[in-house]
Amino acid sequence: SFAQHVAIAIENARLFREKERLAVQELLRLRKLAILSEISSAMQGVMQMEGLLRVGLTGVTYGGGLAFNRSILLLVDEERRRLVGRMGVGPSSAEDAGVIWQSLEAHPRPLGELIIEQAAARVGKPESTFDQLARSLRIPLHGTPSVLARAAAEARVFRIADASRDPGVCPEWEGRLEVQEFACAPLMAKGKVVGVLAVDNKFNGKPIGSEDLEFLSAFATQAGLALENARVYTSLEEANREIQRSHHRLLRQERLAALGEMAAHVVHEIRNPLVAIGGFARRLSSRLEGR
């Protein structure tokens, strides 16, 4: 009887620990969902492409956000069938990482506000070494052993655990990240891949787990839709500017036409009396010559 009571107590304790573990996981999941919601809200407030990219990548690398050390965003160039690096956000060295993280910890702020503030602070500053690396990437979508190209071609999330030995890692592109572990996710919009997001934890060495990949994929989906909206907005802005330019050209042409019509009228009004004066002058000249 005592053994039965002990067994029941042990089982209850095990169930309690399991419930505690599930509760902690659920809290973490809710926190991640809240983070995704805040990042998405921050991105929705920006319509220009460059600003949108900066806000999104800041949310990915901020400690209160998805908390990756570095992130690179590449967009699909459909005409040339390649991935083009557009922006990279993250420290250039371990020293820079320490300074940034200490500053953020010393002045805690709401996530959405901090993302926009940090993104705005980078505007106008010289490109970092990491950003220059990101913008230099040009990866063909087909015919190359590149995991970033595969992520775009297959619309799949990849995690590379040992980059130096993985045959899908090309030294010319992914090898330049100089990390052993990284992950990449496709940016989807309207059923097609519009870009690829690559992340790593170069400086703190934190492993990229399955839950990190899940939320990275969710963020990539949101970012893809935001990018597509930004593209549409940019196209509408350009179309509006073209309409305004055409309107100004039309007004100028109308003014020139009005000036031409007025000049023709003035010429006509001047020519009639000049013809009469000319005729009178010729008759007068002929009479004077006949004397």
Q: In what order do the strands lie in the sheet with 182-189?
A: 138-140, 82-89, 70-77, 192-200, 182-189, 158-160
Average pLDDT, the chain: 81
Helix pair 49-61, 111-122: axis angle to 10 deg: 120
Evaluate whether 139 touches 133 at the Cβ level (below 8 Å).
Answer: no
Model confidence over 169-179: pLDDT tens digits? Answer: 888 888 888 89
**pLDDT for residue 182:** 95
pTM over 0.85: no
Evaluate whether 56 touches 221 at the Cβ level (below 8 Å).
Answer: no
**pLDDT for residue 112:** 60
CA–CA gap between residue 208 and residue 202 (Å, rounded): 11
Model confidence over 189-234: pLDDT tens digits? Answer: 888 899 999 999 998 888 998 888 888 888 888 888 877 777 777 7
**pLDDT for residue 149:** 92
80 φψ region: left (φ > 0), alpha (ψ -120 to 50), beta (else): alpha
